[in-house]
Structure formats: structure tokens, C-alpha cells
Amino acid sequence: MESIKLSQKAEEEIVNAARMAALSNLTEKSQNLITLEDIAIYFGRHYQTVAKIISKLPNFPKPVTPVTVDQQNSRPRYIAGEVVRWGRINAKPY
């Protein structure tokens, strides 16, 4: 079987589509931890918009700190259900 070569953009789009499929199953009761990148995909916004504007809003859910071996390289994580709830209540264009 031949291997298929994809451009980096095509590969990223496939990965994002798979992530969106997984994220679309989240509910307000979801306890999964998600990243800012996941949140950007979930809301269909650019990462920078989520990281610099949306996540800084005073009523946006606060990140939780996962226990990791290397705390310095730890990215903030958010409880998915809190983010879903926030999105339902605060649905407006940012």
C-alpha cells in the first residue's frame, strides 16, 4: 500500500476535525480537562483570540493546575463542563 503525503495544513485540518469531533461530545457535566487550544477549536475561534481575550474575561472559568512532573511546562487546563456552560450563557461574538 502506498503512503499518502499530506501538506502540513491538510494534516492540521484533519487533526482539528478529529479533535472537534471529540469536543462536540462535551456537556455541562463533563469533567475532562481541556486546553486553550481545545477551547479555540470548540468555539471555532483563533487560538490567540481565546488566549488573549476570552480566557481573560472576569467571568471565564479559572484554570485548574494538573499535577505534573514538570510544572514549568504545564499548560493551563480548564474543566470542560465549566467552559461549555460559560459558552452557553455567554454566547456572543468575541
The pLDDT tens digits of the residues spanning 9-34 come to: 988 888 888 988 989 899 999 999 99
Q: What's the distance, CA 32 to chain centroid? A: 11
Query: Does residue 58 lie within any of the structural domains?
Result: yes
Tell me the sheet residues that pair with 36: none
Name which of 76, 22, 25, 71 is nearest 47 in CA terms. 76
Please give the average per-residue pLDDT across 69-89, as a whole number.
86
Name which of 78, 6, 75 is nearest 42 in CA terms. 78
In angstroms, the Cα distances linking 49 to 30, 44, 72, 76, 85 are 23, 10, 23, 16, 19
Query: Does residue 76 lie within any of the structural domains?
Result: yes
**What percentage of the chain reaches a pLDDT higher than 70?**
89
What's the domain range around 70? 28-90
Query: CATH code at 69?
Result: 1.10.1660
* CB contact at 8 A, 77 and 84: no
Element (H, E) at 49: helix 47-52
Query: Does residue 22 lie within any of the structural domains?
Result: no
